[in-house]
Structures are given as C-alpha cells and as structure tokens.
Amino acid sequence: MPGHPSPTSMGLQFPEGFIWGAATSAYQIEGAAAIDGRGPSVWDTFAKTPGRVRNGETGDVAIDHYHRWSTDLDLIKELGLRSYRFSISWPRVVPGGSGPVNRKGLDFYRRLVDGLHARGITPMVTLYHWDTPQELQDIGGWENRDTAYRFAEYAAVLAEALGDAVPNWLTLNEPKTVVQNGYLYGSHAPGKRDEAAAYVVAHHQLLGHGLAVQAMRPHLSPQTRIGPALNLHPCYPADDTPEAQQATVLYDGYENRLYLDPILKGHYPQDVLDDVARFSPMQQHIKDGDLEVISSPVELLAVQYYCPIYVTGAGETVRKHPTSEAFWQQIYPEGMYDILTRIKKDYGDIALTITENGLPCKDVLDADGTVQDTGRIVFLRDHFAATHRAITDGVNLESYHVWSLMDNFEWQEGYDERWGLVYIDYASQQRTPKASAHWYREVIRANGL
C-alpha cells in the first residue's frame, strides 16, 4: 500500500521468542449482559444512568463476542497473534459477587481458553477489568474491605477451573483508573466524586490483588505466573524550575509509586501517604499485615502505556504533544522507553509484558471494503521502536499486546472511539481487519520492523 511504512523499513529485529498479541475486556466486547445467568455489574448500572455514557450507549450487546467467540478466535489466528489478553466478567462467574458460582459462565471461559489453545494462541487472563458485581457495590464496593476477600474467593474459583490452561494471570486492570475515574472524577462506574473514599478504594483494591495472588497459588502449577496490570504514566517537569521538579515527584507518586511500591517493595510511598492524609482516611484502613499480603510475590508486571504527564510548579498538568481522538492522550512514543527503563532501574528485573498500548482513530470503512488507518500504523511503529530500544538496553520485556483487538465499547465514550485493529460495523457486527491489522501481521511474521 503506497505511503505505508514497510514492516521491515526500520531494520529492528525483536528477540527470538518475543510474543505479539492484542487485548480486550469483558464488558467492552461480550454483550449478552443478561444471558446464561450473568448478574449486573457497576458498568451496567452506570451505562444505564442517563447522561453517563455518550449517546446513552451500553455494553448490553457490545460486539456480541459471547456468541461470536469462535469466529473471533479464528480471526485472532488469521492475524498471526500468539497471545490474547482478555478479561473474565466477575458477575458472569459469580453473579452476586459472592455465593453461588454460575456454571454456564465458567463454561464459556473454558470454551474460550480451549479454543485459543486449539488455534495455537496463548491465553492471558485478567480477573478484574472494572465490572464489580452490583450486589457488592450495594454494600460499598471497594470502599468495603470485604470486597477484597470476595475478590480472592472469585480468583480461587477461576484458578481451580481454568488454572491448567492459563499460564499468565493478571489480577486487577488499572486500579488507578478505578480510583481516579471511578471515585475522583466520576466519569467511570461507580461515578463518585469522593476523594476521601478514593484512596480507601486504592488500598482495598491492592489488598484484593494480594489476597487473590495467595488464594490462587494452591490451584496453580509452579510455572504459572500472576501479576497486576498497571497503567503507568512517565511524569516530567513542565519546565526547569525546582518547583516543577518537586511537584513532579509527588505527581509520580500518585500515578505510579502508589501502586508499584506496595506490590513490589512492600510499603506505600511515604510522600503520597502524607499528602493523602490531608483529605482521605486511607491510612486508618491499612491493617497490620496488609502490606505483607499486598507484596505477595508476583512473577509478572503488566504495563499499560498510553501517554506522559507534564507537571508545573503549581502541581497542574500541561500538554506538550499532539493529542489523539482521546482528549487525554498525548502522543509521545519515547515515554514507552522511559517507563520501561525506569521500572528496571527502580524495581529490578521482574518479567514485563505490555498489556495495552494503542490509538483511537476516526476509522471509516471505505467503499472498497478497506479501512486505511495509517495514523495507527505510525503510532504503533514508533512505540514498537521505542520498546525495541528499551529491550536493547536490557529491559526484560517478553510480550506486547495492542489495545485493542477489535473496536468496542470505550467506557464513557460509548462506541464513538475506535481503538481496534479490526473494524466493527455495529449494525451488522461484521468484522473487517484494518490496514493496521495487515501491517501488524507482517511485523509479527518478521518479528521486527
């Protein structure tokens, strides 16, 4: 295709055995919201509340993956992906959040993991991608410490049912987004604006992560790996004043260290704890022994990188780079290099996987049946190149999952933002691989670009 960067044009070869994949999450793709015993989640409630999601859209049908899973797996295979990261819907497996397990829900995920293996694709499973069962939310959700224990029980159910077939498990997806979007800005479920509660929610999610790790272990082989999936934002001073430098340190604490330190070092960052104490009773909720639980050994750290943050001396953020169709996303590929090398420097050589990185585009299905998403190709090419440089500099990165496999329900943006390698015609549910998917298949084939 004229004008498209050729997959081999940069002369970058990835290490042998490097694994390329793509990611999705349950509420964003499955649909079948009230089918086969699934209970409601906070996202069903939120999306059905007028004014919360663009155009009043919901995940009721989404891209109907619950029914189309088999042909979707064929598509993954055709694209050449070797790893598929998806999430399990907590209320599909435990409809009330605690109590009876829904056998039909478990069976669906069994079919999925078996179907992946049959096609030579390795499953990577996220336990929680934001769909808290509504019944748990009704008694406080993550504000209630009990939710962490319910989450661990659910994790044990999955480890027992699917542990033989899933080599890589991720506990929580982006606990920070639940804290910030769910409890500070109110733009995600459960739609609160309550900074006191937000950091209690941070602690209880982290506790849930640790309890889940412990609850799963007895059901898993020693080779099976578990880790958290964290969205990390490299933070930079907006200018060269000492004030901006200082403000950036604290900002980095809120964005990165608040989650990395307790899990990988066994303590919360003191600067953040001190600052949080001004407005949240978080510290009163940290019980003896919690940090030992939270820092239970993990073998994998899943990194999700979308954009950098620039911080002024007043602690405000400013834009320095062009944004994408997503108002919050500045495009800065070097941030990928910076965050990966920083993890190695500060947290050691834990195995890393990139579980999300991608770009929304104004994709259009052309009359000739193609989708020319050149912007996405350029974005991915530049981020792959930055990643390659990090690997060359010794970062222990083993795989890369593009967000997302297919267009899907993008939370408060509904179906308006298209993030997929595969275009979805929502009226017909027809799947069409975009130019980026064809390009990516060539990258995977060459294991380089």
Alpha-carbon dihedral sign for residues 115, 117, 119, 122: positive
Residue type, 253: G
- Nearer to ligand FCB among residue 14 and residue 254 (C-beta): 254
Distance CA 257, CA 205 (A): 15
Task: Provide the minimum distance between the beta carbon of 432 and ligand FCB in the complex, in angstroms, as a whole number.
Answer: 20
| 356 is an active site residue | yes
Decide if 78 is catalytic: no
CB of 413: closest distance to ligand FCB in angstroms?
9
d(CA 373, CA 278): 46
Look at residues 229, 254, 236, 363 and name the one whose alpha carbon lies nearest to residue 307: 236
Minimum separation from the CB atom of position 217 to ligand FCB (A): 26
C-alpha dihedral sign at 128, 132, 136, 137: positive
Q: List the beta bridge partners of residue 22.
A: 84, 402
Given 46, 151, 169, 403, the residue binding ligand FCB (CB under 6 A): 403
Residue 89 contacts ligand FCB per CB under 6 A: no
210: nearest Cα among 292, 146, 272? 292
Among 359, 407, 410, 435, binds ligand FCB (CB under 6 A): 410
Measured from the CB atom, the residue of 72 and 410 that comes closer to ligand FCB is 410
Nearest alpha-carbon partner for 127 in 157, 171, 167: 171
Span of 65-73, 97-105, 171-179, 335-343 interacting with ligand FCB by CB under 6 A:
171-179
Q: Rounded to the nearest whole angstrom, what is the least distance from the CB of residue 285 to ligand FCB in the complex?
A: 25
Q: Which is nearer to ligand FCB, 267 or 362 (CB)?
A: 362
| Interaction between residue 356 and ligand FCB (CB under 6 A) | yes
Nearer to ligand FCB, 154 or 419 (CB): 419
SS3 helix, strand, coil % of the chain, rounded to 5?
45, 15, 40
Interface residue with ligand FCB among 72, 135, 143, 174 (CB under 6 A) is: 174
Question: What are residue 424's DSSP bridge partners?
Answer: 431
- Which of the ranges 100-108, 172-180, 194-202, 264-272 carries the binding residues for ligand FCB, by CB under 6 A? 172-180
Q: Is residue 66 close enough to count as binding ligand FCB by CB under 6 A? A: no
Q: Report the alpha-carbon distance of residue 269 to residue 283 in Å, rounded.
A: 12
Q: What residues from 11 to 30 belong to the interface with ligand FCB (CB under 6 A)?
A: 25, 28
CA 167/CA 162 separation, integer angstroms: 10
Instruction: Name the minimum Å distance from CB 235 to ligand FCB.
Output: 17
Catalytic residue among 30, 174, 410, 413: 174
Q: Which stretch binds ligand FCB (CB under 6 A): 71-79, 169-177, 253-261, 266-274?
A: 169-177
Stretch near ligand FCB under the rule CB under 6 A, chosen from 115-123, 170-178, 192-200, 371-379: 170-178
Cβ contact 63:24 at 8 Å: no
- Of residues 315-344, those binding ligand FCB (CB under 6 A): none
Least distance (Å) from ligand FCB to the CB of residue 402? 11
177 binds ligand FCB (CB under 6 A): yes
Our CB check for ligand FCB shows the closer of 238 and 405 to be 405
Nearer to ligand FCB, 126 or 372 (CB): 126
Position 357 contacts ligand FCB (CB under 6 A): no
Please identify which of the residues 30, 135, 255, 356 carries the catalytic annotation.
Answer: 356
DSSP string, 350-411: -EEEEEE----B-----TTS----HHHHHHHHHHHHHHHHHHHTT--EEEEEEE-SB----G
Calpha distance 284→203 (Å, rounded)? 10
- According to DSSP H, which parts of 227-294 are helical? 242-252, 258-265, 270-276, 290-294
Q: Does 231 sit near ligand FCB (CB under 6 A)?
A: yes
Residue type, 14: F
Residues that bind ligand FCB (CB under 6 A): 25, 28, 173-174, 177, 231, 356, 403, 410-411, 419
Q: Active-site residue numbers?
A: 174, 356
